[in-house]
Structure 1
Amino acid sequence: MANGGAGQKRQASESAMTGALQSLQEEAATTKIRRLEHHRSARDALAQQPLPTPPFSVGMEDLPEDIQRHILSMLPLKEAARTSIVSRNWRELWTCHPNLCFDGSKQQSTDEDSMKIKGAKFIETVNSIVQQHSGAVLNKFSIRFLLKKESSDHLDRWICFAAACKARIMDINLWPNALKAPVGKNYNYPLEALGSQDGPFIQSLFLKHVSLKPHSDIAGFTKLRRLHLNNVIINGDLRGLLNNCCALEDLEIFKCYGAWDLRVSLHLNKLRHMLISLVPTSSIDFHVTGLTHFEYKGQARPIVLHGCSQLEKVSLTFKAGSFERDKDLVSYAFNKLPAISAVKVLNVRADMIEREPVWTSQMLYTTGVGFWSGEAIGLFSSSMGLHRLKKVHMSGFRCYRPQMELLCGILGKGATLENVTIQTNPYTVSSHNYESYIREWARHTSERFGKTIHVVN
């Protein structure tokens, strides 16, 4: 009986513990459900509330005016002008645009009547913009349109306006897109307008198909860094102008008539690049200690570049006919142009119109197809210095005797040669026999001089 009573008590105790545990679990589940419902209600309440607004919003019109102008200056002039319809406050903002670039070259045609209509429209557009402009300082002012001397009044007014706004860059191209040269006299560009302000301001001047009347007393060019003259008629002293350009870094004179004597006494120590092409001049003489790149195209002329110890690249293109005065252009390039003797890269281009060797790194030949089968002995000027020559590339090669003599002369004197390449004439490679002949000659010559010659098409 005693054991039975103890068992009943134990069962009652376990039952009580089980009930208590179930009660705790139910209470915990209820609490969790209530918590989830609370969070859900709070989330729904937040979702129904409007999002908080920022303390302030910034629009374009809220920015300082100078920042607005800077933003508009990044747009082309036409797009900047269109912003005037966006806001009443912007109607005058575009009139401070720093870049007034008028390009009507794509609208031009060969029909004379059509050109008159488009020319009148172009002039009307430029006049309207110039009249509305605020007169703020300009970064660039450019005109690209085929305008004749009859439009001088408009051009004078535009250039004087650009000068009054102290435009740093001025680009006047009255013969764009390589169209047929306009008939009639060139417009006379008023250089004096650039010196009529308080002080010098022009930094880049690009002129095409105009006339100039420079003189030694001209002012306003001491800040000029870039001067490009293309198809310009020079009725004055170009040397006088250049002698006033002490800050010049880039000079290009292309197809200009009237620059008879290019001897400049001023030391242009900042000049880095100089191109003189198709200019009928008697001599070229510059003091250019910092020059790194020189290009010349024309007939053989005395060229003196004083103090250019930093020269890295020289390109010489001699016009056909210069052989009549100096038949050894190799000797001419090295002996009569001492400034280029230590240059790193030298390109000499010439038409071989006579049976004389011409040293070149890139040659183009227009003579007929024909081979010379003799043994080249390397006719070459003994005064030539090739002790630094490392790379030679000869194009238009077709085993023409002067070519073969020239290359053999280079191979014989070029002790430091590392790479020799001949590029076959496109008119000869059409025949497999011709190409095979060239490759056989190259192989034989390579063995003869102990230097590999690479043949490419």
Structure 2
Amino acid sequence: MGLLHLQRLISSQSQQRDRRHRPRRGKINHEPCLQDDEASRADKKMACVDPSLPEDIWHHIHSLLPLQDAACAACVSQAFLRCWIYRPNLTFSPETLNFKNQYNEGDEISADMSTQLVTRIERIVRKHKGILKALKLELLDCPDIDNYDLHSWLFFAFKSQVEELSLWLHSDFTEVYNFPWQLFSEGRGNSIRSLHLSCCALRPVTGLGCLTNISILELYDVCISGEDLGCILSSCPALEELHLMDCSEIICLEIPCLLHQLSHLVVSECENLNVIQSKAPNLCSFVYSGEEAQFSLGDSLENLKIMGSGWDEIVGYARERLPHMVPKLEYLDICSSFERDTPVVPGEFLYLNHLAISFVSWSSGFCPDYDYLSLVSFLDACPALETFELSVSHVHLAKLVNEP
């Protein structure tokens, strides 16, 4: 669709130019007629004339096209070819590289297809010039990519001063592909503002230097120890968001006090994580999903969401611990799968104005003996409460098993 719109726009502009140069009625056109061969050469020349818009605007329009359409547009004129080789964002995946008809999404591609995919990526990388704003390597379905090729593409990204780097690998790479942190040496990684890594290993990471401009760090299914992660965090003074998911080697997460910009933390399903300790002075939002862990989050936290996965009695935990742990909390969202009656304990949420409690069960219903009226003790502890949401739902396992 993007290429079709571009072709229509070019055609419309050509028609406008023709109307402007068309002689008015009632006036004699004194220009000499072109011979057939001259007219043919003129038509070919007109086909290559740049559209009458500034080049930077065409670069922006071209960058909004899907990768395949952008490659096709590069065949139209030299101007579009320049747009292609200076394209600021590249997403490499079997879908964007036109393998849609050769495999079903979610299936692993064959070794032969992997070879073709690598060839296409290499061809694009060799011809690219200029600054690269975003590079996304979405290779979840590609188990046969060589480590050398991955290193080569990452080096290309750093050399092109990439700002957003995203690496999605097949699960086979989780423990065998060690992300080359040496690329960050000598200030080469200072252009990166957003870094997403999945299914790779990060070790060791000593001697990183200062990762000056990284504001978003996302690690999904990454093999990294708590110590190495602490080393990375200490090197990211501009970090604003940290996302950790399925990082099973982390036992203790310590966030240093020098992260003054860190405001948003997400930790999900890190199965061996026992302790989360944040000294970041301006952390205001925390989302947690997983088994029971010890929290030390500081006084600045305002938004908290806890979804228990193997963690029982979260509501009771929140009522007893959170008033003293996060005294300035304004938004609290809790999801629990097993609960006893909510206890009556001292302590108030003086600033809490939104409370959402969800009870979810995977069997016939949620805690049939639970006294929902015991939640009144929670409400009594929230003098500034404006919104209260209560949700109770259950899902039959038999239904999930029988669904296609």
TM-score, scaled relative to structure 1: 0.65
- Listed as ranges, the matches of 1:37-186 within 5 Å are 47-49=25-27, 59-60=49-50, 68-88=58-78, 90-104=80-94, 107-108=103-104, 114-134=109-129, 136-146=130-140, 147-148=142-143, 151-175=146-170, 181-182=171-172, 185-186=175-176
The alpha-carbon deviation at position 157 of structure 1 amounts to 0.5
Cα distance in 2 for residues equivalent to 1:259 and 1:391: 32
- Residue 378 of structure 2: aligned partner: 410
Task: State the one-letter code of the partner of 2:123.
Answer: S
Structure 2 partner of 1:15? none
- Is the Cα contact below 8 Å between 2:279 and 2:297 reproduced in 1? yes
1:357 aligns with 2:341: yes
For 1:269-314, what per-residue CA distance to the aligned partner results, in whole angstroms no more than 9, with x for missing partners? 1112110112222322222232232111222322222352xx3311
Give the superposition deviation at 1:152.
0.7
Is 1:385 the counterpart of 2:380? The answer is no
- The Cα offsets for residues 125-151 of structure 1, whole Å up to 9 and x where unpaired, read as 1111112223x1110111112233752
Q: Does 1:329 align with 2:325?
A: no
Change in Cα spacing, 1:392 to 1:238, as seen in structure 2 (3 Å) is closer
Paired residue type of 1:302: Q
Any conservation in 1 of the 2:332–2:355 contact (CA below 8 Å)? Answer: no
Q: Is the 8 A contact 1:102 1:143 kept in 2?
A: yes
**Higher relative contact order (CA closer than 8 Å, sequence separation 6+):** 2
3-state SS of the aligned residue for 1:125? helix
**Shift of residue 242 of structure 1?**
0.4
- Decide which moves more: 382-391 or 276-285: 382-391
State the one-letter code of the partner of 1:382. V
Greater C-alpha radius of gyration: 1
Q: Distance in 1 between matches of 2:305 and 2:189?
A: 37
| 1:253 alignment counterpart | 244
CA distance in 2 between partners of 1:183 and 1:159 (Å): 15
Does structure 2 conserve the Cα–Cα contact (< 8 Å) formed by 1:243 and 1:266?
A: no
CA distance in 2 between counterparts of 1:145 and 1:421 reads: 40
**Any conservation in 2 of the 1:72–1:80 contact (CA below 8 Å)?**
yes
* Contact residue 166 and residue 195 of structure 2 kept, 8 A: yes
- In structure 2, do the counterparts of structure 1 residues 227 and 390 end up closer, same or farther at CA, with 3 Å as the change threshold? closer
Provide the identity percentage. Answer: 23
* Paired residue total: 345
The residue that corresponds to 2:264 in the other structure is 273
Q: Which residue does the alignment assign to 1:234?
A: 224
Partner SS for 1:329: helix
Contact 1:77 1:99 (C-alpha < 8 Å) held by counterparts: no
The Cα shift of 1:70 comes to 4.2
Q: Could you say what secondary structure the match of 2:152 adopts?
A: helix
Residue 329 of structure 2 is matched in structure 1 by 343
Q: Distance in 2 between matches of 1:427 and 1:63?
A: 57
2:353/2:384 contact within 8 Å kept: yes
The structure 1 residue matched to 2:287, chosen from 295, 299, 310, is: 295
- 1:39 aligned partner: none
Is the CA contact 1:148–1:187 (under 8 Å) kept in the aligned structure 2? no
* Structure-2 change in CA distance of 1:137 and 1:286 (3 Å): same
Q: Which deviates more from structure 2 when the two are superposed, residues 289-298 or residues 144-153?
A: 144-153
Q: Report if aligned partners of 2:299, 2:328 keep a CA contact under 8 Å in 1.
A: no
Matched, 1:401 2:369: yes
Question: How far has the Cα of 1:424 moved from its partner?
Answer: 4.9
User: Between Structure 1 and Structure 2, which shows a larger proportion of helix residues?
Assistant: 1
Quote the Cα distance in structure 2 between the aligned partners of 1:283 and 1:403. Answer: 31
Distance 2:187 2:181 in 1: 12
Q: 2:307 aligns with which of 317, 320, 335?
A: 317
Please tell me whether the aligned partners of residues 163 and 197 of structure 1 are also in contact (alpha carbons under 8 angstroms). Answer: no
Say whether the 8 Å CA contact 2:174–2:200 is kept in structure 1: no
Would the alpha carbon gap of residues 48 and 164 (structure 1) be closer, same or farther in structure 2, given more than 3 Å must change?
Answer: same
Contact residue 192 and residue 219 of structure 1 kept, 8 A? no
Checking the alignment, whether the CA contact within 8 Å between 1:293 and 1:312 is kept in structure 2 is yes
Instruction: Give the Å deviation of 1:191.
Output: 2.0
Aligned twin of 2:41: none
8 A contact 1:207–1:232 mirrored in 2: yes
Q: Which residue is equivalent to 1:435?
A: none
Give 1:409's aligned amino acid. Answer: S
Q: What is the Cα-based RMSD across aligned positions, in Å?
A: 3.6
1:221 pairs with one of 190, 203, 211? 211
Q: 1:208 to 1:183 in 2, by over 3 A?
A: closer
Q: What TM-score results when the alignment is normalised by the length of structure 2?
A: 0.73
CA distance in 2, matches of 1:407, 1:52: 92
CA deviation after TM superposition for structure 1 residue 193, in Å: 1.1
Amino acid at match of 1:120: T
Indicate the residue corresponding to 1:14 in structure 2.
none
Q: Tell me, which stretches of 5 or more residues in structure 1 are unaligned? A: 1-45, 176-180, 359-379, 429-457
Question: For residue 115 of structure 1, what is the amino acid of its counterpart?
Answer: S
Question: For the residues of structure 2 that align with 1:66 and 1:307, how far apart are their CA atoms?
Answer: 47
* 1:377 alignment partner in structure 2: none
* TM-fit CA distance, 1:77: 3.2
Q: 1:381 and 1:186, CA in 2 relative to 1: closer, same or farther beyond 3 A?
A: farther
Q: Return 5+ residue gaps in structure 2 as ranges.
A: 1-23, 32-45, 360-364, 397-404
SS at 1:156 equivalent: helix
Query: For residues 302 and 387 of structure 2, what CA distance do their matches in structure 1 show?
Result: 19
2:214 counterpart SS class: coil
Q: 1:144 to 1:408 in 2, by over 3 A?
A: same
State the AA in 1 paired with 2:167: I
For residues 212 and 125 of structure 1, do their structure 2 counterparts lie closer, same or farther at Cα, with a shift above 3 Å needed?
same
For the residue of structure 1 that corresponds to 2:328, the secondary structure is coil
For residues 416 and 410 of structure 1, the distance between their equivalents in structure 2, rounded to whole angstroms, comes to: 12
1:299–1:384 distance in 2 versus 1, CA, 3 Å:
farther
Is contact 1:269–1:287 with CA below 8 Å preserved after alignment?
no
Q: Specify whether residues 241 and 402 from structure 1 end up closer, same or farther in structure 2 by C-alpha distance, changes over 3 A only.
A: same
Q: Which residue of the partner structure matches residue 372 of structure 1?
A: none
Q: 1:25: which partner in 2?
A: none
Counterpart secondary structure, 2:151: helix
